[in-house]
Amino acid sequence: ATLLCRTVTMDSSGGAREISREEFDRRFADICDALGYNPNEKGRPLRIVGLGAGAWGSVFIAMLQQMYGEFSKEVDIRIWRRPNKVVDVSALRKLMTVINEDETTLRRLRNDSVYLKYVSARLGDRTLTADEVLSDGFCLNLPDLPLCPLKVITELDEAVYDADIIINSLPSTETRSVFEKVGRVFAHTRGDLHPFPVIVSLSKGVETKMTPHPHILTPTLIIHETTGVPLENCMYLGGPNIAAEIWRGEYATARLCGSSKKLRKPLSLFFRNDDFVVWTSSDTITHEVMGGLKNIYALGMGITTAVTNNSATSKAVYFSNAAAEMVFITRLLSERPDDLQGPLLADTYVTLLKGRNAWFGERIGSGLFHNSMGDYIPGKGLIQGVSAVHAFHDLLSHKDVEIFDRVTEKHVSPIEVLPTLCMLREYLLTGRDGDASSKSAEDLKQEMIQAGKTFIAKLKDASATDPARRLRTESLYLPMLTRLPGEDIVDERDDGDDDNASHGPKFTIDEE
């Protein structure tokens, strides 16, 4: 189940991330103190496990491997992915091109005596699985960018039973099913002598539930609910993080969010390197919600780009409407949320500019893709904004959710003042109620192009009223929208950001 590999501290395809022994000792002491981990008592390394092997999850674990690989006696870094996914011929062809054109990667595979298995697979003499190539440093979602070798685990029980830190990079749509299994493992392995791990989620998206009351579940809340891990141990890390660019060493920032100040600072420093700076915040809910919202509105930016032939003015109008709606929604879900600035704003910007959701939106807007294709694209993975559109629309149109509209001076459903979200849902439903197989490729293309033109026409109508006037953001907070059944909302105040930035208090959820 475990594919072991040699450890490295840096790779020519990534930025230099070596740290000194002195710096490691300081970071390690701080993280052990925060976790209550005594290496002498444990008799084993501190175990860090990544769950999920998409682009960002693989890059994040590979960065940690580069930073701490030479300290394997103190820190053990692994990544879990499902087994037995066979790498298809087209992916193998691309891999061989990348390998043969990159001298450093070619030499590494030759020295590790694994190059010939890629040749054999390319010739059709054997098969390779995704977990096997990941152990050699190849993520199928980043086929053009070799990573460093990784320790890969294919048995979930083995991966998590004694993990001290878990990095969740699963799509939000898969988080529940996987962590329900993790919860069953913890039920038999965790207790007073074996405390719960810290779980840092990279996942962006939400679940919506309509019973016993309408509410959302962010990934950290899903993890808490399915595993019993205390909320203070469930954290979120997000920012303007394009996986390939970060692996190449381009400068990036992120925020680590959680209610426990004791954990935030040492973990943020442990994840940090010269090119990847991690700040902190106590406002988990706003950052997680915005992580889902930006994927929604990135779809619309892609559609706008395609339909208006990349008009900067049209995209700016769309962005002003989208930003107003995102701020409005976060204020429904958090009483005093962080402002749309810093990594929160930067994450939104880069996702609308270059993320996979904007990429997908541009392709459906130009008719290259059709809604009937679904939201999973080989080589790109899950387009999370698609399910998020429907989730937020269902939540904010529920009959029990109302706000006071200052324009009409009436109590209305929030969805009535969110025209862009409504337009996106309508667009994504185009062609879903018919039989796409009975239409020609050209008919499918024109169907999406015409829907895109309708989208832009409605964008103009929505812009007739200044969104700043339409979407007043004071006194909006609806606590039930983030309240788990049987739990109360408690104000846990601290100074917010550990890096001296001012942020509002975080509202978290504690058990009764």
The residues that are catalytic are: 294
Cα 216 to Cα 230: distance, rounded to the nearest angstrom: 18
330 closest CA partner among 244, 396, 377? 396
Please, are residues 118 and 127 in contact by the beta-carbon 8 Å criterion? no
Quote the CA–CA distance of 357 and 284 in Å, as a whole number: 23
Distances in whole angstroms, Cα of residue 142 to Cα of each of 79, 116, 279, 407, 482: 16, 21, 26, 48, 35
Give me the residues paired with residue 237 across strands: 256
Nearest CA to 165 out of 64, 254, 49 is that of 49
Residue 272 near residue 278 (C-beta atoms within 8 A): yes
Nearest to 65, CA basis, from 137, 1, 145: 137
**Closest alpha carbon to 341 in 326, 358, 361:** 326
Helices (H) and strands (E) in the chain, counts: 20, 17
Distance CA 5, CA 400 (A): 54
CB 172 within 8 A of CB 57: no
Structure tokens at 476: 């909006």
The alpha-helical segments, DSSP class H, found in 53-171 are: 55-68, 89-101, 103-111, 115-122, 130-135, 156-160
310 CB-near residues (< 8 Å, 6+ apart): none
Residue 66 in contact with residue 14, Cβ under 8 Å? yes
Both tokens assigned to 471: 């979407």
* Cis, peptide link before residue 212, omega less than 30° from 0: yes
How far is residue 306's CA from residue 183's CA, in Å, rounded to a whole number? Answer: 44
Helix 356-365 vs helix 441-462: angle between axes, to the nearest 10 degrees? 110
Helix (H, G, I), strand (E, B) or coil at 283: coil
